[in-house]
Structure 1
Amino acid sequence: MTNTILVRDVMAKPVTIAKSAPVTDALDKMLDTGLDPLVVVHRDEVVGTVSRQKIVEKLGARHSSEVAPSAIHVSNTIDSEFTIVYEDQELDILIPLLQNQAKLAVVYNEDNKIVGQVTYGDLLAKVVPEGELSSVIDPHHVIEAGERMVHLRRKMVDEKVARYVVMADNKAAGLVSETDVAVALTRFRESVDDRHQEHQIRNILVKDIMSSPVMSVEKSSTIPDVVSQMLSKNISGIPVTENGKVIGIVTRNSLIRAL
């Protein structure tokens, strides 16, 4: 199915951030482009990637509370391991790389210069899993709207979960993700004096930072329709409902794993 497709046929222009840039610039670029992670460069060379998860970890660290987010550089949040493919390789070599936890592949030319990148979205725009939607549904994780954001961040770390369905009165009230936490932490660190941060941060609740209302799809939907909706709205995950209740979630990761 993919034997005649090359990496260059699916790659996009690389979206990069300088190693010396503040993490606030990286987060702004992530929000503007909908991409996570970003490719980090230094003197025109790729040195790693930076993700929302790493930014959240840095901003949430107690020793960072006295430092303004704009004073924290991307170099402090780099993941130096990244996946490389070449533009003239066949797509079949790329799929298992993205299925194996990599969220992005950096594309080089024959001169070992970066010429592109391939994300989950780039790949799904070209190839889509076959079968019923039920085959790509992952279990969903929930958190109450009245929970504190600091508890949410701890759950994300402990459970290795990037997004939660927010419940209120036994109904889905919203979604909350690493992006929401990163934005909230940045705004909080910038607006609250460091002497009061440790106490006041506990006043931020999940309902204050969640995305609402919940966008969802029915279990009877087709995979191509769901992929099209996710790509057009630039979202990485969407809850699946049956008889009005959330039964799971489809993510770009679950779709890639099914290829």
Structure 2
Amino acid sequence: MESMIIKNIMSEDPVCIDKDQNICDALRLMDKRNVSRLLVINTNSDHERELVGIVTEKDIALKLGSSRYGNMAPSHFHVSTVMTPELITAEPDMDAGNAASVMLENNIGSLPVLHDGEIMGIVTKSDLLDICRGRAYEKYTAADVMSTEMITVSPAERVVHARRIMIDAGIGRLLVMEEDELAGILTARDMTRAVINFRKLVPDRHKPSRIRNLLVEDIMKQNVRTIEEETPVTEVASLMLETGYGGFPVIKQEVEGIVTKTDILDLIVEIEGVF
């Protein structure tokens, strides 16, 4: 099977932000452009668009929830404070299987695409998902790729605890379970939006204690979209692209597992091959 190169699937107009802007600017730009990550550039450099890092919604959520920065207003955070400066990049002719493998090995969701130091684009897990609509993937179902070892929280647990679980496990979403029933789902995006809105509403003197006591049930999403074990991977990939969701719980009589973009990338590596 001929391998697909990332030049053919990457986003050629990556959304960029200057390192000296604040994270509220970053979040507004993410909302406006419907993306979850931004390339960070230094516009004061002699180079027209010097790439200096990448910032994601998860980066912002985990930083905002930390004790070190918990009392600071989001408008006081420069993007450079929360960005990841150690970048792993790709060339336009890298094949899709290798790109998926690099993302999995480094637990990252995207690769900036550079050629001779110039920004050509960005390839994300979502871009790679589009490959899964092909015929080679039609025989696989959610049961073939789902993770059965699920990391969960209860609705009554504190958000600061959920944040620590996300950091330790290197994940961006948690299933919320109550008495073995699916009660909701909590994502890094939910956490970011909740903490920022919370800080706008709560007086400064009450913020530290109130944020520490914020519960998962206060900010989780309810009425979670689920899939069945028999759902084809091609359909799962399409659902992720259509909804923007990064994962779906798999339900039979009870929760059997979860399928995330990372699980599908494992399948892409298997099918596309790594050279």
- Per the normalisation by structure 2, the TM-score is 0.85
- What does residue 14 of structure 1 align with? 14
Matches within 5 A, 1:69-80: 69-80=74-85
Distance 1:159 1:89 in 2: 28
How far 1:55 sits from its partner (Å)? Answer: 1.4
Deviations 1:37-61 (A, max 9, x none): 3211112111111123321232123
Q: Deviations over 1:204-223 (max 9, x none)?
A: 22111111211000011111
Q: Per the alignment, in what secondary structure is the counterpart of residue 192 of structure 2?
A: helix
Deviation string, structure 1 residues 221-258 (Cα, Å, up to 9, x no partner): 11101111111111111111112x11110000111122
**Larger mean Cα displacement after TM superposition, 17-26 or 67-76:** 17-26
Q: Which moved more, 1:164-173 or 1:178-187?
A: 164-173
Aligned mate of 1:257, from 266, 272, 275:
266
- Aligned equivalents of 2:192, 2:265: Cα separation in 1: 25
Indicate conservation of the 8 Å contact 2:146/2:263, yes or no: yes
The answer as to whether partners of 1:65 and 1:189 remain within 8 angstroms in 2 is no
Counterpart Cα distance in 2 of 1:64 and 1:90:
40
Q: Deviations over 1:95-115 (max 9, x none)?
A: 322232231111123x42112
Deviation digits for residues 106-148 of structure 1, max 9, x if unmatched?
Answer: 1123x42112110001011124573332221013222111222
Residue 217 of structure 1 contacts residue 241 of structure 1 at CA under 8 Å; is this kept in 2? Answer: yes
* Cα distance in 1 for residues equivalent to 2:95 and 2:59: 31
Residue deviations 1:15-57 (CA, integer Å, cap 9, x gap): 2222111112223333454533321111211111112332123
* 1:122-201 pair list within 5 angstroms: 122-127=127-132, 130=137, 131-138=140-147, 139-201=149-211
The unaligned stretches of length 5 or more in structure 1 are: none
Task: Tell me how large the CA RMSD over aligned residues is.
Answer: 2.1
Who is 2:113 aligned against? 107
- Counterpart of 1:85 in 2: which secondary structure? coil
Identical positions, percent: 32
Deviation of 1:89 (Å): 3.9
Distance 1:88 1:10 in 2: 11
TM superposition shift of 1:156: 2.1
Residue by residue over 1:69-118, the C-alpha shift from the partner in whole angstroms, topping out at 9 and shown as x without a partner, is: 01111010121122222224443442322232231111123x42112110
The code of the aligned residue for 2:141 comes to: E
Q: Which amino acid aligns with 2:10?
A: M
Equivalent pairs counted in the alignment come to 256
For 1:8, the aligned partner's letter is K
Q: Is the 8 A contact 1:83 1:106 kept in 2?
A: yes
CA contact (8 A) 2:71 2:208 kept: no
For residues 236 and 65 of structure 1, what CA distance do their matches in structure 2 show? Answer: 27
Compared CA separation, residues 192 and 133, structure 1 to 2 (3 A): same
The verdict on how the C-alpha distance between 1:93 and 1:137 changes in structure 2, with shifts beyond 3 A counting, is closer
Contact 1:69 1:190 in 2 (8 A): no
Q: Relative to 1, partners in 2 of residues 1:29 and 1:174: Cα closer, same or farther, differing over 3 Å?
A: farther
Gaps of at least 5 residues in structure 2 are 44-48, 269-275
Indicate the SS of the match to 1:63. coil
